[in-house]
Amino acid sequence: MLGTLFGRKAEFDLFSAGADDCHDFSRLHGERFYKGWGDGEFHSLLTQSSVFGFSARDTNASDRDLGGFVIAREAGGEAEILTIAVSDKYARAGLGWRLMLAAIREVRARGGETLFLEVDEGNDAAIGLYRKHGFKKVGERKGYYSDGRGKTSTALVMRLDLR
C-alpha cells in the first residue's frame, strides 16, 4: 500500500523507464523542480545505453498514474543519480525509497562500484532519503544551485560505496 487518493489506496509497481515515459517524467519533474526538464531532454537521456531509470505507476488506475521516477547513469564502474522525483500526492509513502533501491540494484547489476549524487543542502527530504540508503557526504559545491531570483545554495556531493 502506498498513499491514499480520493479514498482509494494507490498501489504502485515499478517499471523500467523508456522513451514512452518522457512526457510524464517531464510533467512531474516540472512540478517538483524550479528548473523543469522538457520531454526532449528526457528522451535524449533515456535513449543512451549508459542511462536507465524506473517509474512507479499506479497499476490499478486506468491512467496508470505516475507516482515517481528515478534516472541514473553508469559508465566504467562509476554511477550517478541524475534525478529523482515523487509526486507530492504520494509523499513520505516509501516511493522514493523503492525507486532508489531499484536504481542501486541496477547500478550493481551493471558493475557499478560507486554511486554519486548532488543534493541541495537545504533539501531535508532528499538528504534523509539518501542517508537512509547509506550515502555519505564527500564534498560540497558552493553556489551550485540558483532559485532564479538571485539566491544561490550549496550542493552536497554524496557517495554510496557498492564494493
Ligand X SMILES: CC(C)(COP(=O)(O)OP(=O)(O)OC[C@H]1O[C@@H](n2cnc3c(N)ncnc32)[C@H](O)[C@@H]1OP(=O)(O)O)[C@@H](O)C(=O)NCCC(=O)NCCS
Q: Using CB under 6 A as the criterion, which residues of the chain lie in contact with ligand X when the complex forms?
A: 32, 84-86, 91-97, 119, 123-126, 128-129, 132
- Output 35 or 92, the one with its CB closest to ligand X: 92
Rounded Cα distance, 118 and 155, in Å: 6
Q: Which amino acid is at 1?
A: M
Phi first, then psi: give them for residue 157, nearest 5 degrees: -100, 125
* Cα angle 65-70-75, degrees, rounded to a multiple of 5: 150
Find the catalytic residue in 11, 41, 113, 118.
118
Q: Is the C-alpha dihedral spanning 69, 72, 145, 132 positive or negative? A: positive
Q: And the C-alpha cell for 96?
A: 522514493
In the complex, least distance from residue 127 CB atom to ligand X, rounded to whole angstroms: 7
In the complex, least distance from residue 120 CB atom to ligand X, rounded to whole angstroms: 7
Find the catalytic residue in 74, 80, 90, 130.
130
In the complex, least distance from residue 97 CB atom to ligand X, rounded to whole angstroms: 3
144 is catalytic: no
Annotated catalytic residues are 118, 130
